[in-house]
């Protein structure tokens, strides 16, 4: 199978859908000739024209408001936010309009829109352009939340998001854009709410999201050399969350570590930990559930400080060793 980058997989998913569904269009800042902040939409305005690749004013509130209105009246917009931090400016439209419409109208209203946005650290973009705020969005009933970790998952999950009649927030980690993987040329869909076991193991379960999946896999490979078998679970979607796969894995290993890049305090890892603790998996635990997340600070600009603020492979390795050694 051919290999393409995560970025190319996202672009291909959108382009293929736009070729078969005229109701799908994209709007966002600098997404035309410039191709977006990270080049994801490069070349799309040449194929689809300015009516379907709409360059917007610098106003996330306007982009979100126009997307919600278009979705409510039968279109299927994809709105791009240049950085996930800027979702804060669009929260009224997303939280009070997009998320509530279907419920408030007894299921008769639909808001089929996708919010695509790059998130995460690693680019030296500092405190206002580096945050991971997915727990905010996941807290809102009516919004679905997706965090692909591979090119294959990105294409399949974006297809599912575009087909969904509910608003979906689709997080794309900046450092994953250049990561390559095997991706089919044809369209395919990965159902929202289905986790993936990225690596099977027997001694400890790591539940990781986005780029932390890759760090967890790297840690697992190192730990294997020391005779420690690590199972890595990628939820892929936070909402809906595949609790069954997570609980099944924890029941098998008896130990669990949850790793995400977002700030640990109030992060989504706490929700995963509580779900495990409230399930039948609790009786199988041989050690406390551990959480790894970013320090409770605005993200520093300096690359070494930025790196120190979020979990790295050595941190995951040490957490696994401490968990396995717990008595």
Alpha-carbon separation of residue 66 from 63, 73, 171, 182, 194 (angstroms): 5, 11, 20, 35, 31
Selected catalytic residue, list 129, 173, 214, 260: 129
What letter does residue 312 receive in the DSSP assignment? -
Asked if residue 152 lies in contact with residue 4, where contact means CB atoms within 8 angstroms, the answer is no
Active site residue 173: no
Q: Give the rounded distance of the alpha carbon of 271 from its chain centre.
A: 16
State how beta strands 76-80 and 114-119 pair. parallel
Residues 120-154 as b or e (16 or more Cβ within 10 Å = b): bbbeebeeebbbbbbbbbbebebbbbbbbbbbbbb
Dihedral over alpha carbons 44, 42, 163, 197 (to 10 degrees): 150
Dmax over CA atoms of the chain, in Å, equals: 63
Active site residues: 129
């Amino acid at each position: 199978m051919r290999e393409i980058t995560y970025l190319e997989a996202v672009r291909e998913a959108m382009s293929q859908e736009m070729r078969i569904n005229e109701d799908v269009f994209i709007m966002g800042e600098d997404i035309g000739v410039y191709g977006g902040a990270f080049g994801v939409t490069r070349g799309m305005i040449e194929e689809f024209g300015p009516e379907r690749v709409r360059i917007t004013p610098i106003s996330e509130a306007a982009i979100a408001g126009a997307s919600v209105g278009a979705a409510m009246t039968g279109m299927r917009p994809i709105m791009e936010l240049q950085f996930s931090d800027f979702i804060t400016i669009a929260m009224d439209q997303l939280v009070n309009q997009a998320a509530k419409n279907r419920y408030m109208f007894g299921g008769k209203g639909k808001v089929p829109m996708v919010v695509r946005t790059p998130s995460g650290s690693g680019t030296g973009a500092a405190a206002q352009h580096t945050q991971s705020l997915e727990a905010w969005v996941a807290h809102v009933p009516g919004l679905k939340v997706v965090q692909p970790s591979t090119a294959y998952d990105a294409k399949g999950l974006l297809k599912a998001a575009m087909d969904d009649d509910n608003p979906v927030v689709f997080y794309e980690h900046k450092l994953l854009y250049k990561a390559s993987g095997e991706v089919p040329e044809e369209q395919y869909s990965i159902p929202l709410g289905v986790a993936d076991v990225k690596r099977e193991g027997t001694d400890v379960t790591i539940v990781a999201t986005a780029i932390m999946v890759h760090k967890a896999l790297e840690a697992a490979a190192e730990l294997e050399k020391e005779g420690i078998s690590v199972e890595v679970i990628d939820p892929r979607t936070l909402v809906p969350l595949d609790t069954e796969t997570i609980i099944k894995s924890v029941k098998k290993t008896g130990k669990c570590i949850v790793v995400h890049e977002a700030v640990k305090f109030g992060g989504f890892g706490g929700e995963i930990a509580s779900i495990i603790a409230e399930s039948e998996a609790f009786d199988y635990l041989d050690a406390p559930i551990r959480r790894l997340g970013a320090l409770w600070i605005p993200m520093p600009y300096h690359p070494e400080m930025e790196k120190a603020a979020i979990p790295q492979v050595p941190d995951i390795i040490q957490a696994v060793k401490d968990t396995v050694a717990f008595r």
